[in-house]
């Protein structure tokens, strides 16, 4: 097969497609956060699965195939939803910790009075 031109055309187009896909993923990650890239990737997987069913003529669409596609798509959706909840929880924790850091020193109880400046102790409310 290595001497056939059709093999090299297919091989080259496959390599070019992989390069474009990886480059698009890289650009998506630069513009968005990792969760968005993950959701886009999972959506792409669903479309690839559905496209594969219709692209090849030898696939018989039956109940088992449709159930398999539904289970696959449901699993992808569930995984993406769980990742979303994890991401939101992480953002919530980060937001709560940073909001305390942004409080003025007096509100956090860390304002040093003139008496305690020399000892290094902090004055508490």
Measure the CA–CA gap between 121 and 62, rounded to whole angstroms: 75
The answer to whether residue 125 scores a pLDDT higher than 70 is: no
DSSP state of 32: S
Cα separation, 117 vs 97, in Å, equals 26
| Model confidence, pTM | 0.48
- Cα–Cα distance for residue pair 51/32, rounded to 1 Å: 26
Encode pLDDT of 65-122 as tens digits: 889 888 988 888 888 888 888 888 888 887 777 655 555 555 555 545 555 545 555 5
């Amino acid at each position: 097969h290595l001497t056939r031109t059709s093999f090299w055309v297919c091989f080259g187009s496959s390599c070019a497609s992989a390069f474009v896909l990886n480059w698009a993923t890289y650009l998506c990650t630069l513009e968005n956060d990792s969760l968005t890239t993950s959701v886009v990737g999972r959506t792409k997987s669903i479309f690839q699965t559905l496209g594969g069913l219709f692209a090849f003529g030898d696939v018989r669409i039956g109940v088992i195939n449709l159930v398999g596609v539904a289970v696959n798509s449901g699993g992808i959706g569930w995984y993406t939803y769980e990742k979303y909840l994890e991401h939101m929880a992480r953002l919530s924790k980060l937001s709560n910790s940073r909001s305390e850091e942004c409080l003025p020193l007096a509100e956090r109880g860390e304002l040093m009075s003139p008496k305690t400046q020399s000892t290094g102790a902090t004055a508490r409310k």
